[in-house]
Structure 1
Amino acid sequence: MSVQTLHDNTPVRASFEVPHSDLPKSARVVIVGGGIAGTAAAYHFARARWTDVHLLEQSKLASGTTWHSAGQVGQLRASSAQTKVNKASAELFARLKEETGHDPGWLQCGGLQLASCEERLLQLQRNAAMAEVFGVEARVISAEECRSFYPMLHTEDLTGGVYLPGDGRVLPGECTLALATGAMQGGVKIHEGVRITGLIHSTDRRGIKRISGVTTDQGEIAAEWVVLAGNMWMRQIGLAAGIDIPVYPCEHHYVVTRPIEGVTRNSPCTRDPNAGLYFRALDDGGMKLGAFKKRSKPWQIGDAVPHPFAFDLLEPDWEDFEEPLAAHFHRLRGITREDIVKFVNGPEAFTPDNNFIMGQPHATEGLFVLGGWNSAGIACSGGAAKYAVEWIENGGMTLDLASVDIRRFLPFQNGRKYLQERVSEVLGLHYQMAWPNRQMETARGIRASGLYDKHVAANALFGETAGWERPLAYAPAGVRPEMGYSFLRQNWQPWAAEEVTACRTGVALLDQSTFAKFELAGPGALRLLQYVCGGNVDVPIGKTVYTGLFNAKGTFESDLTVIRTGDESFYIVTATAQQSRDADWLLRHFPEDGSVVLRDITEERNVVSVMGPKAFEVLGMLTDVSFADEDFPFGTSRVIELKGIPLRAVRISYVGEPGLELHVAKPFAGVLWERLMEAGEPHGIRPAGTQAINTMRIEKAFRAYGHELSPAETPLEAGLAFAIDWSKDFLGKEVLLKQKAEGVRQRLVCLVLEEAEPNLWGGEPIFWDGEPAGYTTSAAWSPTIGRSIALGYVKRPDKRVLSPAAIKEGAFEIGLFDKRHAARVVTRAV
C-alpha cells in the first residue's frame, strides 16, 4: 500500500531511476512526453505488442502537469464514450500493482457530488439516471447521508447528492511510474532528459503534411508514428510545424491542510459544484481543498512554456483563492486558515470546449495527439491512451470519440488571444451547471453570416457553434434576447414555438449560412466520391444526393448533400461542425496524382432558406421560374436569379416543409433577405432560428451528425439504408452487406411521450419493457403536437438481432429525473 500523500509532502514528487538506453536513429513509434498520458500510451503500445517504441521526456517522468495533479478518478462523464474512457482508466489503475509490481496508489474511496440547490439536484438526478445506462453505479442520497462521509460537512443548505462507489484516486507520480514500468516490461524504451525541438515533416501533392520523425537536442529520430502527449507543450511543438493544436495553460489552485479530525484516507473524493469546489483526503487525514472558479487566469507565457519547467509551481495567489477558500470553510465546518500548510498553484492545459484532444490533426499523417486534459488527465488518460492505440492500429476510431477528435477545431481556435480568453472560462466549466443549450460566454463574435445585422434588428437570441454567431430564436419586441437556463422549460421555447408554427402553416425564413460548403472538381472527382459515399453521385447535372460518408467499418464519418454541377465537379454541403473533419476525410482519400481539387467556400456563400406551405407563393413573386413539381422536382438544384440576384436554388428541406435553400454570395445575402421578407409580408413570413429548425427536424425524425450519426453507428442501424446504392462499390460496403444479411442489434427509434408536460432535452435513459435499453440522442418539446419527441438507439442486453416488429410491440419509457414516462414508437411525429 502506498502511503505517500501526507500533508507535509503533497504534491508528491516520485523518485525513480530509468535504465539508460541509447537514443535510436529510427523507431516505429516516438512518444513525446513522460507524464500520465505519455506513459499510458507507452503501456498500451506494449500490451498491443508493438515493438521499437520509444518515449522521450525532456525532464523526468511524471514532471510537468502530472506531478501536482489532485489525482482524482471519476468515472461518469457526459457521454457514453467518454464514460467508457474513464471506466477504462479506473480498471487499469486497479490492476497496475499486481501486473507491474509498482503501486500506483489506487484507492477506491468513492466519489460524492453535492447539490446545494434544487436545479443542481435535478442535474445530479439526470446524471445518476444516465449512469445506469453507462454501467456506472450511482446513488442519489439525502443531505444527511452526505454528512455521513465527512462529520464536519455543513448540510443545512444541501438538497442532496450523488454517491459513486466505484470512483477513486491515485498518486499521480506513482501511477505514472507504474505505467512506465509496465511499458518497459513490454519492451518500450524510455529516455529522460531528451528535449524535442521540432517535427520532421514534408507535404505531398494532396496538401497532406506527413510527419516522419522528430528533432531533439541530441539528434534526429525517424519514426512511422509520433504521438504527442506533452499536454501544455503540444501547442508550441505544433506551431513550429504549422499544425494547430489548440491548448493553453491556466493557473489552477488548491491548498493542503494538516490532518483533520474525522477525515480518513477512505473519505470519498467530493465535489460541491455550485461553489466550484472539490476536496479529498490524504493518507494521513490531511486534505486537498481545490476550486474551479467561474473565471480563471491564463498563464501568461506567450506561445511557449518557459524552459526548463519540470517539477515547478507558480507563485501562490491567496487573493484569487479568497472566495473559494471561504466557500470551503463554509462547507467544511471547523477548518480554518490555520489548518492550511501549503498553497499549490500549478498550470494545466485547457481546450476551447472542455473536452480533451486526440487523433490526427487536420491534413496530417504520422502524428497522433493525446492531451489537453482540462484538469482531468489522471481520470481520462489511462483509457484515452487505450483507445488511441486502437485508433492507430485500426486506422480509425474503435469508439465514438468525435467529441474529442482534434479535427473538431478550426485554425482560428488556435490563436493565442482566442485561447487565452476562452480557457479562462473553460476551467470553470467543470462545475458550472450543465444546462441544456448552454452557450459559451467568452471569445464570441468570431464569425457571422452576411445577415447578422438583420438578426440583431429582429431581436435575435444568439448562440455559437464553431465560432459562428447563429440566431437561436427571436425574442418578441421589447423583450431582451437573453437565455434563461433551466432543466424544465427555458424562456426561448415560446418564441421558437411561434416560429415552428409559422413554418408548418405558412412560411418562414431561415439563415443556414453556417453550413460548411465545398467545391470538389477534377478528373478524379467522381471516382473519389463514388468510393467514399454510400449514395450514388453519378447523377445528372443539377441533381442533389443525400449520402453518408462511411469508413472501413461501415459507420459514419459524416452525412452530407452532394450536388453535381458538372461532369467532374460537385458542390458539397455539410454540417457546421464538420468543416474540418469532412475536408480532412476527403483529402485523405484523394489520389496522389493531383487529379482532384477541394476548395472550401464556407465563408464565401450564405444560405437563406424559404420554407413552409406558402414558400413557393413568396418565391414566385420574385422570379418567373416555375417551382411546380414537374418543373422543379424535389432534389433539384439550379442557378437562377431572384430580382436580379444570382444564386443557386436547391429544392431540399431539413424541416420537412416545401421550399428552397438559396445559396448566395455573401455580399448579396442582406438584400436577398430584405426582398424575401417584403414579398412574404402578406403571407405572414417571419424568421425562424436554430432552435425551431432543430425542433422541426426532430418532429420529422431527421437524423443529425453528432447526435444520431457517428463512427459508432451504421446506416442500417440509423434507418438510412434507403440512401445507399448497393449496386456500386464504396468504402465499408462489405461490412454493411454482412450486417444486412445478419440483421442489426441496435436500432434508432423515434419516441413520443404520452404525457404533455415533461420536457426532454436529449441524454435521457430509454427503458424497454422495464429494462435499460439506450438513451435519447436528440429531443425537443414539440409545439406541433404538444408533447416531447425523442430520437435514440435501443438494444437488448443479450444483443439479439432486432426486427422492426419487435420494437413496435415493445413497451417504452423515458427516464426524467427520478421518474419514468411512457412513450410510443412512431416513424415520425409530424
Structure 2
Amino acid sequence: PDEIRALWPLANTQGLVGALFHPHDGHVAPVDLTNALAAGARAGGAEIHRHTRVVDIRPEPDGAWRVVTDKGEIAAEHVVTATGAWCRQTLATVGLDVPVIPVEHQYIVTDSHPALTARHAEGLPEMPVLRESDASYYLREERDGLILGPYEAGAPACFVDGVPDDFGQELFPGDLERLEPHVEAAIARVPIFGEAGIKDVVNGAIPYTPDGNPLIGPAYGLRNFWLAEGFSFGVTAAGGAGRFLAEWMDGGEPPIDLIAVDPRRFGAYANKSYAVEKNEEAYRNVFTVHYPDEERPAARPAKTSPVHSRHEAAGAVFGQRYGWERPNWFAPAGVAARDEWSFRRTNWFGPVGEECRTARERVGLIDITGFSKFRVSGPGAEAFLDGLLANRMPKKTGALRLGHALTSTGGVRSEFSIMRDGPEAFYLVSSGAAERYDHDYLAKALPGDGSVGLDNITGRHGVLVLAGPRSRDVLQKLTDADLSNEAFPWLTGRHIRVGMAPVRAMRVNFVGELGWELHHPIEYQTALYDALVEAGAEFGIGGVGMRAMESLRVEKSYRMWGMDLTTEYSAFEAGLDRFVALNKPDFLGRDALVRQREEGVPQAFVTLEVDADDADPWGNEPLYLDGEMIGRATSGVYGHTVGRSLALAYVRPEAAALGTELAIDILGSHRPARVIPEAPHDPENIRLRS
C-alpha cells in the first residue's frame, strides 16, 4: 500500500493488499497516433483516399481483387479490411459472416480539480492509469481532470444489423444510471473524483468479438483476403497487427503463433445471435478475474451431440470447444454439478480422479463428437497429402498414421490422424477447435486440376471413444467382428457394425489405454451410446470427461495441438522425430528441419514431475535452472494414476537431461520440478497393444 500511495498519492489505499505496476504502461491520443501512422504510410509510398466509400469488392479469376468505390475502381493483389463497426456489412460483400458486433462503451470526463492542477503546476509527472478489476473500471488523468472508463454489465450490442448510411462520428446518449456502481467505487477509491463535476459522458461503439480478441489473418475460404477487425481496444494494437499481417502476406505465414487471433478460430456457429450474447459477455468481463478452468455461460449450448441429454442425466458439467458442448467432468450423486473456479484444486478434482481410474482400471466412455473430420480422395490424394505432411501416408487400407503439417520454418501448424480407406481415399481427423483452420488450409492447398477432392464431414459424424482394459470385452458383445490383437492390431482401423450402427472403428485413443475411437453417422449416436452403456454395465463402464482425458494424456506425454504443438516450435523441438520422414520427397518445412538437425535443435521437449501443493501447473509457467529462466511449461495436470503433479515443457537442451532439477513458477512460488522419462504411465505401450 505504501508503494501504491507513492505512485497514486490521491488514491485511498484502505483495504488494499497490493497492486501490479506496469512501468511502461500508458495511453495514447488516438487521433495523433492515427495521423502519425498515416504520415508514415504516405512516406512509404501508400495512397490514402479519404471520404471514399467502398461499394463492392469483387474477386478476379487470377486470385486478385477489384475494389469498387464511389470514385472509381482499384485493382489489388491483396485486400485487407480494417473497418471497425462496419465490419459485418463490409465482409458481407464477399460472402463472409464474422462475429464482430460493437458494444456501447461509456466513459466520463470530469471538470478540472484543484489537486490535479496543483500537481501539474509543480511539474509532477502524470500518475499511471489506475485499474480496479474488482470494480471493473479504469481511471486516468485527462488534462487537469479525470476520465473514468467502466466496463459495466448491461452494456448493449449496437449496429447489430449494420451501421446506418447516415452515421458518421455521432455518439449515443449517455446512461449514467448504468454506470452508478462504478462511479461509487471510483469515488471510494479516489475521493477527488466525487468532487470534480462531470464535464461530459461519452458513449460510443467499440467493436467486439466473442472472446474479446481481434480477428487478424486470412479470411476463411478466400485467397489473398485478410482481416484486421474486432479491435476492442482501438489503435493500441495497430502497429503489431500491421506488422504481422505484412510479414504474413509477404512470407506466407506469421512470424509468431497467432492462432489466438486467427479469424478461422470461429465457425458458422458464431452467427449474429451468438455474437450479440458473447460480445456483450466479453465486454462485461474485461476486468473480472479469469480462472484457468472458467467456462463462460452466454450463448450456450450452441452445438450439442445427440447424447447431450444422456450426459446431463449422468451429472455432466459441460465446457465448450468451437461451439460444441462437451462433458468436462461428471458430478457423482450428492455433488453439485457446477464448477467452482479456482487457480487451485477445486470441487472437480476428486471426481476427475475417479474418472481417470475408470479409464485405467475398467472402461471409460468419452464423447468427442466435435473432432474435425475430413475425407480426402481422388487420383492425386496420396501425392497431395505426401507433399503437405511430414510423415509418410499409410500404405495399407485400414492402416493409421499421425501426420503433421509444418510451416516453412518446421513449426507444427496442424496435426492429423490419417486412416487409409482405399487406393485413392483417406480419412483425416484433427482437433475440434481447428475445423475451419484446417479445412481452409487443406482447401487452399488443393491442386487446380481436380485430381483431389476434399469433403468436410465433421457435423455428419460423431465420435465415441471406448477406452480401458475392459473395452474389448464391452465392444465384442456388440459386434461379430474379430477384435483380437491378431485380427485388429493397434494403429489400424476397420469398418464394422456395432449393434445397429455402422462404425469406423480406429484402434487409437488419446488416453493411452486399450481402446477404440468409434466414428459413426451422427444419426446412429444415441442407439450406439445406449448399447455401449448397457453392454458395459457388468464391466463398470463410466463416463470420462475432458479434464480426466487431459490428465490421462499428460501421463502419456501426448502433445496437444495449440498447447504443446504450435508454429513457434519445430517438429524436432517437439520430439516428433518418429513422425518426420526426411527421406521422402519434398514437403513443406523439410529444408528447415534438415538445417536444424545439422546446426542443433534449440529447444527440447520434456516431461516434468512437480512438487506441487494444492495448485498444479496449467501451462505457460516459466521454468528456471539455477535462477535463470530456461523454458516454459505448455501443459500441466495432476496425474491421478501416477500420483504426481506433471507438466510438459520446452527447455534449453542443457536443461533436458533426465534428473535435471528445475524450478517452476506456480502462483508466484517457485516449486521444485525435475525432468523424468517420457510417458510416466506405461512407457512401453504394453496396455495400448494388449
Same fold, TM exceeding 0.5? yes
- Match of 1:412, SS? coil
Partner of 1:821: 671
Partner of 1:678: 534
- Match of 2:257, SS? coil
Partners of 2:648 and 2:293 in 1: CA distance = 17
- Match of 1:162, SS? coil
Partners of 1:222 and 1:185 in 2: CA distance = 21
Partners of 2:477 and 2:428 in 1: CA distance = 29
User: How big is the shift at 1:697?
Assistant: 0.8
User: How big is the shift at 1:446?
Assistant: 1.2
Partners of 1:338 and 1:170 in 2: CA distance = 23
Q: 1:253 aligns with which of 97, 106, 129?
A: 106
Aligned 8 A contact 1:752 1:829 in 2: no
Partners of 1:350 and 1:551 in 2: CA distance = 30
Matches within 5 A, 1:232-243: 232-243=85-96
Partner of 1:172: 30
Partner of 1:653: 509
Matched, 1:585 2:441: yes
Partner of 2:639: 782
Q: Which consecutive segments of 4 or more residues in structure 1 shift more than 4 A?
A: 262-265
User: How big is the shift at 1:624?
Assistant: 3.1
Partners of 1:441 and 1:189 in 2: CA distance = 45
Partner of 1:285: 144
Deviations 1:33-90 (A, max 9, x none): xxxxxxxxxxxxxxxxxxxxxxxxxxxxxxxxxxxxxxxxxxxxxxxxxxxxxxxxxx
Aligned 8 A contact 1:296 1:425 in 2: no
Aligned 8 A contact 1:507 1:686 in 2: yes
Amino acid corresponding to residue 445 of structure 2 in structure 1: H
User: How big is the shift at 1:211?
Assistant: 5.1
Matches within 5 A, 1:9-88: none
User: How big is the shift at 1:235?
Assistant: 1.7
- Tell me the TM-score normalised to structure 2 length: 0.94
Partner of 1:609: 465
Amino acid corresponding to residue 285 of structure 1 in structure 2: D
Amino acid corresponding to residue 674 of structure 1 in structure 2: D
Matched, 1:422 2:278: yes
Partner of 2:135: 275
Partner of 2:217: 359
Partners of 1:304 and 1:488 in 2: CA distance = 44
- Provide closer, same or farther for how the CA distance between residues 809 and 680 of structure 1 changes in structure 2, counting only shifts above 3 A: closer
- Match of 2:519, SS? strand
- Provide closer, same or farther for how the CA distance between residues 346 and 233 of structure 1 changes in structure 2, counting only shifts above 3 A: same
- Match of 1:164, SS? coil
Partners of 1:680 and 1:202 in 2: CA distance = 58
Q: 1:560 aligns with which of 382, 394, 416?
A: 416
Amino acid corresponding to residue 349 of structure 2 in structure 1: Q
Identity over aligned pairs, percent: 35
Partner of 2:194: 336
Partners of 2:660 and 2:112 in 1: CA distance = 56
Partner of 1:212: 65
Aligned 8 A contact 1:635 1:651 in 2: yes
- Provide closer, same or farther for how the CA distance between residues 809 and 685 of structure 1 changes in structure 2, counting only shifts above 3 A: closer
Partners of 2:95 and 2:186 in 1: CA distance = 44
Deviations 1:500-531 (A, max 9, x none): 01111111111111101111111211111111
Partner of 1:145: 3
Deviates more, 1:382-391 or 1:758-767: 758-767
Aligned 8 A contact 2:101 2:160 in 1: no
Matched, 1:297 2:156: yes
Amino acid corresponding to residue 264 of structure 2 in structure 1: R
Partner of 1:810: 660
Matches within 5 A, 1:681-692: 681-692=537-548
- Match of 1:403, SS? coil
User: How big is the shift at 1:438?
Assistant: 1.4
User: How big is the shift at 1:755?
Assistant: 4.2
Partners of 2:188 and 2:535 in 1: CA distance = 62
Partner of 1:749: 606
Deviates more, 1:732-741 or 1:263-272: 263-272
Partners of 1:792 and 1:253 in 2: CA distance = 43
Amino acid corresponding to residue 815 of structure 1 in structure 2: D
Partners of 1:336 and 1:304 in 2: CA distance = 38
- Match of 1:572, SS? strand
- Tell me the TM-score normalised to structure 1 length: 0.79
Partner of 1:66: none
Aligned 8 A contact 1:542 1:636 in 2: yes
Partner of 1:125: none
Partner of 1:68: none
Deviations 1:553-573 (A, max 9, x none): 221221110111011111111
Matched, 1:451 2:307: yes
Deviations 1:529-563 (A, max 9, x none): 11111111141111111111112222122111011
User: How big is the shift at 1:203?
Assistant: 7.0
- Match of 1:678, SS? helix
Deviations 1:705-736 (A, max 9, x none): 11011111111000011111222121111111
Q: Any unmatched runs of 5+ in structure 1?
A: 1-142, 205-209, 796-801
Partners of 2:433 and 2:616 in 1: CA distance = 26
Partner of 1:385: 242
Partner of 2:19: 161
Aligned 8 A contact 2:500 2:527 in 1: no
Aligned 8 A contact 1:616 1:659 in 2: yes
Q: 1:314 aligns with which of 148, 153, 172?
A: 172
Aligned 8 A contact 1:546 1:723 in 2: yes
User: How big is the shift at 1:237?
Assistant: 0.9
Deviations 1:660-699 (A, max 9, x none): 1111111211111111111111211101001111111111
- Match of 1:252, SS? strand
Partners of 1:371 and 1:354 in 2: CA distance = 11
User: How big is the shift at 1:757?
Assistant: 3.7
User: How big is the shift at 1:386?
Assistant: 1.0
Deviations 1:270-329 (A, max 9, x none): 2111111101112x2311101112442101x24211234333211111121122212211
Matched, 1:724 2:575: no
Aligned 8 A contact 1:509 1:686 in 2: yes
Matched, 1:266 2:116: no
Aligned 8 A contact 1:523 1:595 in 2: yes
Partners of 1:590 and 1:644 in 2: CA distance = 36
Matches within 5 A, 1:529-540: 529-540=385-396
User: How big is the shift at 1:445?
Assistant: 1.4
Q: Any unmatched runs of 5+ in structure 2?
A: 682-690
Partner of 2:40: 182
Partners of 1:166 and 1:640 in 2: CA distance = 62
Deviations 1:110-157 (A, max 9, x none): xxxxxxxxxxxxxxxxxxxxxxxxxxxxxxxxx332222222312222
Deviations 1:11-36 (A, max 9, x none): xxxxxxxxxxxxxxxxxxxxxxxxxx
- Match of 1:647, SS? strand
Partners of 1:824 and 1:591 in 2: CA distance = 48
Amino acid corresponding to residue 208 of structure 2 in structure 1: F
Partners of 2:144 and 2:601 in 1: CA distance = 53
- Provide closer, same or farther for how the CA distance between residues 312 and 714 of structure 1 changes in structure 2, counting only shifts above 3 A: same
- Provide closer, same or farther for how the CA distance between residues 295 and 702 of structure 1 changes in structure 2, counting only shifts above 3 A: farther
Matched, 1:767 2:620: no
User: How big is the shift at 1:610?
Assistant: 0.7
Deviations 1:453-482 (A, max 9, x none): 110110100111111111000001243311
Q: 1:491 aligns with which of 315, 338, 347?
A: 347
Q: 2:254 aligns with which of 397, 402, 419?
A: 397
- Match of 2:206, SS? strand
Amino acid corresponding to residue 525 of structure 1 in structure 2: A
Aligned 8 A contact 1:758 1:788 in 2: no
- Match of 1:682, SS? helix
User: How big is the shift at 1:703?
Assistant: 0.5
